[in-house]
């Protein structure tokens, strides 16, 4: 029985170690994969070169495998997400439909559009950088969980 307990503890340590595996490094950029992002949550700091409203920062979370969710600024959103080594592909997102003030609504629409057009991701200086086909400059996120 003691051997089974030790084996279980060893397997748990192995699984936990894999879940928090560091991202792969390619040259000067660090490339995160699905294992690195699993269970993480990120807060938007820069929306393609535009400042983000301080009290209405969008978030992006990878709490379930193959899913992305968070706050667009005013509404909650969710959708499918395929995460590869250095890639991110997000499906059409579903969101709640609360009325937002125009400034917040504009930020939310720009964020969700950029997220749905995401293609590549990298870690730069502790920030998650998401490159989107709809923006000239990337989205920049700070990890909050």
85 touches 33 (CB < 8 A): yes
Contacts of 137 (CB under 8 A, 6+ apart): 46, 48, 49
51, β-bridge pairs: 46
User: Tens digits of per-residue pLDDT, 61-106?
Assistant: 999 999 999 999 999 999 999 999 999 999 999 999 999 999 999 9
54 exposed, middle or buried (CB, 10 Å; 0-12, 13-18, 19+)? Answer: exposed
Residue 138 pLDDT > 80, yes or no?
yes
Residue 11 pLDDT > 80, yes or no?
no
d(C-alpha 119, C-alpha 142), whole Å = 19
d(C-alpha 82, C-alpha 87), whole Å = 8
Residue 139 pLDDT > 50, yes or no?
yes
pTM of the model: 0.81
Instruction: Say what percent of the chain tops pLDDT 90.
Output: 80
d(C-alpha 98, C-alpha 104), whole Å = 11
Residue 15 pLDDT > 60, yes or no?
no
What pLDDT sits at residue 12?
A: 36
Domains of the chain and any CATH numbers: 22-143 (2.40.128.270)
């Amino acid at each position: 029985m003691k051997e089974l307990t030790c084996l279980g503890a060893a397997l748990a340590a192995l699984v936990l170690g894999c879940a928090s595996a560091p991202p792969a490094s390619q040259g000067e950029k660090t490339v995160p994969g699905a294992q690195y992002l699993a269970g993480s949550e990120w807060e938007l700091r820069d929306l393609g070169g535009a400042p983000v409203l301080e009290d209405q920062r969008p978030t992006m979370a990878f709490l379930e495998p193959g899913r992305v969710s968070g706050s667009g600024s005013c509404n909650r959103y969710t959708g499918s997400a395929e995460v590869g080594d250095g890639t991110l592909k997000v499906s059409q997102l579903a969101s709640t439909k609360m009325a937002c003030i125009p400034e917040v609504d504009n930020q939310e629409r720009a964020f969700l559009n950029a997220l749905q057009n995401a293609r590549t991701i990298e870690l730069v200086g502790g920030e998650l950088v998401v490159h989107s086909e709809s923006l000239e400059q990337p989205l920049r996120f700070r990890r909050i969980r």
